[in-house]
Amino acid sequence: MAPDTRHPDKLDRAVIFLGPPGAGKGTQAKELARKYGVPHLSTGDMLREHVSKGTPLGVKAKPIMERGELVPDSLVLQMIRERLERPDCSHGFVFDGFPRTVAQAKYLGELLKHHGYKRPFVIHLAIDPSILLRRLTGRRTCKVGGEIYNIYERPPKVEGICDAGNLRRRRGRVGTASGRSRRSHRPALAGV
Ligand SMILES: [Zn+2]
């Protein structure tokens, strides 16, 4: 069998991103996972998948998530353990949103050791507080299409109007319910 030349630098370990929300952990985690051809393990995505598939874990997590509460460590850790035991994780993986607590970090350390992984890489993303503030307060999401903007860094072409709605308005002729179309794609304040 020909050697795998796609990923000459094997990761063979976990990568963990630490840092405040808005520092770009998710973006960096996805990019790194893509580069090394390893799974990107977002605990949020994993939980939503369990819920949508109706797994035993998902059935337990669903009412907790619907109440807007934090899913307890016992469920999160069980989910992580199951995921790490799947074969696609054998060359390493990148975490996104985990570990969040000292207890989770300790459990993860034991788990990685038990499965024979090398010591994890921990990347702490630091960010200038003023940039962080702009990023969090400037974030806008379109309620219709989910498009994401930032009024400081990546504003829509027309203030307060989603580019998708703006496009639609220009394609249609003036006088054809243009106001409604504009309003329907108006970016709204998003939660952090
Ligand atoms: Zn939109």
- For residue 176, the model assigns a pLDDT of 45
Global pTM reads 0.67
Cα(162)–Cα(146) distance, integer angstroms: 10
pLDDT at residue 65 in the model: 87
Residue 80 Cα to ligand 1 midpoint, Å, equals 34
**139-142 and 187-189 as β-strands: parallel, antiparallel, unpaired?**
antiparallel
Distances (CA, A) of 103 to 66, 139, 148, 158: 24, 32, 33, 47
pLDDT value of position 19? 86
CATH of 12-127, one of 3.40.50.300, 3.40.630.30, 3.40.50.80, 3.30.70.20: 3.40.50.300
pLDDT mean values, one per 10 residues, the chain (192 residues): 55 90 87 94 91 95 88 94 93 91 92 91 91 87 81 89 72 49 65 48
Taking the domains of the chain in order of start, what are their residue ranges?
12-127, 128-171
CA of 75 from ligand 1 middle (Å) equals 35
What is the pLDDT, as a whole number, of residue 59? 96
CA distance 190 to 192: 6
Hey, CA dihedral for 191, 135, 42, 162, is it positive or negative? positive
Cα of 54 vs centre of ligand 1, distance in Å, is 30
